Amino acid sequence: MSDRPGPLDYSRKLWLRLWLLAVFVFLYAPIVILVLFSFNDSKRNIVWRGFTLDYYVKAWHNAPLIEAFVNTLVIALIATAISTVIGALVALALWRFRFPVKPLFEGAMALPIVIPEICMGVALMAFFARIGWPTQMPWPLSLASITVGHVAFCFPFVAIVVRARMVGFDRSLEEASKDLGASEWQTFRYITLPYMQPGLIAGGLLAMTLSLDDFVITFFTSGPETLTFPVKVYSMVRFGATPEVNAASTLLIVITIVLTVIAMLLQRPDKELQA
């Protein structure tokens, strides 16, 4: 039995390494190609014709594309902020209290996750039309309907992540805080919130990623004046994928990576203090 490889020993087998490589190629090659071809000096995205930054300049001067890009960022930031707050409150309510309709409430909260996105998109469109949501609004306000839609499907994810975090929380910490003279608010601010923080960051990030690249729900809730980046890219690709799209997409990838790295740095335990 001793010559049988342990679980980690399998990584030394050739076939497993090849398999691993294949998985990584399958997952990441498209992204690498997207980034590479954003520097391609060609109108078509097929053959490599040399390095250029032209398409970044072009994308920069493509006013509708930049506008869509800014829309996406604004929506993502606002939707993330609101979803994080609502999600955290839902998580706290579910974690902390027992009430008669709790299972029902819990199910209702998870509904936006399980409902097919297309249904939710249609539902939101019908809803906004039915209540007569104003469509002709000045710029940031015109994004409100999309933002509302994004919040609706983002906050349950935050709630799930934050609630999972709170499971490990020792309730006697809150009692100790109150026992030492802290008010309800001080207890939340100094004891509960610091414990929640990693969950809030993780949940917020998840919400932001979901919002940034959402197509279906945005498509149904946006007007002609309020295109977002994914919707705009879709319409551009219909007339042929140009390196301009690649350039803009690369920028989005970079932003996402930077945000993720920041979040990971924020969650890192204090190494200096533990030394």
Partner 1 sequence: MSNGGRPMVQIEQVSKRFGNVAAVDDVSLNIAANEFFALLGPSGCGKTTLLRMLAGFEQPTGGRILIDGEDMATVPPNRRPVNMVFQSYAVFPHMTVADNVAYGLKVVGVPAGEIGPRVEQALAMVRLEGFGGRRPDQLSGGQRQRVALARALIKRPKVLLLDEPLSALDRKLREEMQLELVRLQQAVGITFVIVTHDQEEALSMADRIAVMDKGKMLQVAPPQELYEAPNCQMVADFIGKMNLVSGRVTGAEGTRLTIETSGLGTFELDRGYVPKGEVGIAIRPEKIQLLRDKPNGELIAWPGKIAQLAYFGDSSNIYVELESGLRIACTRANQSRQDSVAFKVGDPCWVAWQPGDYLLLDS
> Would you tell me which residues interact with partner 1 (CB under 8 A)?
170, 172-173, 175-183, 186, 190-191, 194-195, 273-274
Q: Least Å distance between CB 129 and partner 1?
A: 48
Q: By the 8 A CB rule, do 151 and 79 touch?
A: yes
| Cβ-based nearer residue to partner 1, 3 or 170 | 170
Specify the 3-state DSSP secondary structure of 167: coil
Query: H helices within 137-270, ranges in order?
Result: 139-142, 144-166, 171-179, 184-187, 193-212, 216-221, 229-237, 243-267
CA count, 13 A, side-chain hemisphere, 168: 8
Are 242 and 55 in contact, with CB atoms under 8 Å apart?
Answer: yes
CB of residue 181 to partner 1, shortest distance in Å:
5
Minimum separation from the CB atom of position 85 to partner 1 (A): 21
Minimum Å gap between C-beta 183 and partner 1 is 6
Minimum CB distance to partner 1 smaller for 41 or for 179: 179
First-last CA distance in the chain: 41
- Nearest of 101, 98, 100, 123 to residue 112 by alpha carbon: 123
Task: Work out how close the CB of 265 gets to partner 1 at its nearest, in angstroms, rounded to a whole number.
Answer: 17
Kindly tell me which of 17 and 189 has the beta carbon lying closer to partner 1.
189
Nearer to partner 1, 198 or 223 (CB): 198
Q: Which is nearer to partner 1, 17 or 171 (CB)?
A: 171
Closest to 207 in 3D by CA, of 145, 153, 262, 133: 153
Tell me whether residue 1 or residue 275 sits nearer to partner 1 (CB atom).
275
Taking the least distance from each CB to partner 1, the nearer of 6 and 194 is 194
CB of 176 to partner 1, least distance (A): 4
Q: Which residues of 184-213 are buried (b: 16+ CB within 10 A; e: fewer)?
A: eeebeeebbeeebebbbbbbbbbbbbbbbb
CA distance 271 to 275: 6
CB of 92 to partner 1, least distance (A): 18
